[in-house]
C-alpha cells in the first residue's frame, strides 16, 4: 500500500468568494456532514493597503472528493472586539463534530510591535452545520503561560470516552540572532487535556515529537487520529530560517506514532509520496481523515497554500 498524489483539488484561481479573488486557501480541514464533505480553510482579506487578516471559509465536496457542490463561502463570524486575541484574524480553524456538537478551535492572531504576532486558541460553536459560528467567549481557552510564553496555536482535538485531548503548538523563542532578518519563531508540538473541551491543562513546555533537524526545528499543524490502539500524527516541519524562500528549507510533511499520545516515535518516510508542480517546493498544513476504506491527506503546497490545496490518498 502507498500514498498517491491526486494533485490540486481546489485551485484558488477557479473561484471567487463574495465576488472577490481568493487569496490563499490554507489549512484545509474536513467534516463529514453525511450528504457532503465540508472542507474548511482560511483565506486572506485586506484590512489596510499593507496588512491582511485571515478568515475561515469552506467549500463542499461529494464523498469521493471529486466534485465541488457549491461555490466556496466565507464562514459567518461576528467581528472581534477591540484588543482581543483574534483581533487580526483566525488561522488555522479546526472544526470538531462530536455527538451532535459542532465546535471549532481557532488560532487567533493579534499584531505586535517588536515581533510580528501573538496567538492564542479560541473556541466557537455552530448551530447550522458550519455556515456560521459564535464565539463561546471573547478570550482564548489556551494561551501563553509561565512555561509556554509565546505563540500558543494550531490546535487539533480528539475526544474519547473519558476526556478531550488537544495537540497544539507552543513557541519556545523568537530568534533574533541574525541582524539581517526579522526575529524568527520556533515552536514545538505539545499536548493538553480537558474534561469538558473548554478548561484545558497544557503541556507546560514539554515537547511531544522528537526533532530531526536539531533543537530549532519548527513543527506545525499536528493532525492526529486514534486507530487500532495507537495514535498517529501527520504534521509539517521546517528549519527556523530560510523557509520563506521557495525550495530553500521549506516545510515538509512528518509522521509520528504513539501508544499513549505522549511519547512519539518519528518516521517521516510514512508520508513520502511523489511530488507535483503545485507541491514541488513545499508541503504544509496537513489534515488527514478516513472515508470508507481509504485514508486521505488534505494539505497545502508551494507558497503556503497560495494556489489552493491538494489531496493524497492511501491506496492498495
Would you state the cell numbers that stand for residue 219, as one nine-digit string? 513543527
H/E stretch holding 303 reads helix 302-305
Alpha carbon distance 121, 113 (integer Å): 21
- From residue 23, alpha-carbon distances to 41, 168, 277 in Å are 11, 25, 19
Residues 286, 290, 293, 296: what is their CA dihedral angle, to the nearest 10 degrees? -20
pTM metric for this prediction: 0.96
If phi > 0 it is left, if psi is from -120 to 50 it is alpha, else beta; for residue 149 that is alpha
pLDDT in tens, the chain (316 residues): 589 999 999 999 999 998 889 989 999 999 999 999 999 999 998 888 888 899 999 999 999 999 999 999 999 999 999 999 999 999 999 999 988 899 999 999 999 999 999 999 999 999 999 999 999 999 999 999 999 999 999 999 999 888 999 999 999 999 888 776 788 899 999 999 999 999 999 999 999 999 999 999 999 999 999 988 899 999 999 988 777 776 666 899 999 999 999 999 999 999 999 999 999 999 999 999 998 888 999 999 999 999 999 999 987 6
Number of separate domains in the chain: 1
Residue 221: CA count within 13 A, CB half-sphere: 29
Alpha carbon distance 126, 42 (integer Å): 17
Q: Is 107:113 a contact under the CB 8 Å cutoff?
A: no
Alpha carbon distance 119, 84 (integer Å): 10
Structural domain boundaries, residue 309 = 2-315
Alpha helices in 103-209 (DSSP H): none
Alpha carbon distance 8, 310 (integer Å): 4
**CATH code of the domain in which 37 resides:** 2.115.10.20
Would you state the cell numbers that stand for residue 193, as one nine-digit string? 487535556
Amino acid at each position: 500500500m502507498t500514498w498517491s498524489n491526486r494533485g490540486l483539488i481546489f485551485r484558488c484561481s477557479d473561484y471567487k468568494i463574495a465576488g472577490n479573488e481568493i487569496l490563499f486557501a490554507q489549512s484545509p480541514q474536513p467534516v463529514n456532514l453525511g450528504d457532503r464533505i465540508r472542507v474548511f480553510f482560511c483565506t486572506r482579506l485586506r484590512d489596510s493597503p499593507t496588512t491582511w487578516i485571515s478568515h475561515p471559509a469552506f467549500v463542499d465536496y461529494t464523498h469521493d472528493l471529486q466534485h465541488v457542490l457549491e461555490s466556496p463561502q466565507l464562514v459567518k463570524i461576528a467581528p472581534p472586539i477591540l484588543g482581543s486575541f483574534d483581533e487580526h484574524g483566525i488561522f488555522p480553524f479546526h472544526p470538531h463534530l462530536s455527538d451532535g456538537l459542532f465546535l471549532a478551535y481557532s488560532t487567533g492572531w493579534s499584531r505586535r510591535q517588536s515581533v510580528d504576532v501573538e496567538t492564542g486558541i479560541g473556541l466557537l460553536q455552530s448551530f447550522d452545520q458550519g455556515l456560521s459560528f459564535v464565539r463561546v467567549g471573547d478570550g482564548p481557552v489556551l494561551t501563553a503561560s509561565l512555561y509556554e510564553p509565546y505563540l500558543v496555536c494550531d490546535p487539533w482535538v480528539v475526544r474519547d470516552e473519558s476526556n478531550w485531548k488537544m495537540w497544539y503548538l507552543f513557541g519556545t523563542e523568537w530568534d533574533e540572532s541574525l541582524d539581517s532578518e526579522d526575529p524568527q519563531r520556533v515552536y514545538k508540538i505539545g499536548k493538553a487535556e480537558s474534561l469538558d473541551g473548554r478548561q484545558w491543562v497544557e503541556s507546560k513546555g514539554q515537547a511531544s515529537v522528537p526533532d530531526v533537524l536539531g533543537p530549532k526545528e519548527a513543527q506545525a499543524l499536528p493532525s492526529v487520529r486514534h486507530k487500532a490502539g495507537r495514535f498517529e500524527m501527520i504534521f509539517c516541519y521546517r528549519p527556523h530560517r530560510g523557509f520563506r524562500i521557495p525550495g530553500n528549507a521549506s516545510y515538509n510533511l512528518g509522521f509520528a506514532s504513539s501508544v499513549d499520545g505522549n511519547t512519539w516515535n518519528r518516521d517521516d518516510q510514512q508520508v513520502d509520496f511523489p511530488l507535483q508542480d503545485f507541491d514541488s517546493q513545499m508541503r504544509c498544513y496537513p489534515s488527514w481523515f478516513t472515508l470508507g476504506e481509504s485514508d486521505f491527506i488534505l494539505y497545502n503546497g508551494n507558497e503556503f497554500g497560495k494556489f489552493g490545496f491538494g489531496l493524497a490518498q492511501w491506496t492498495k
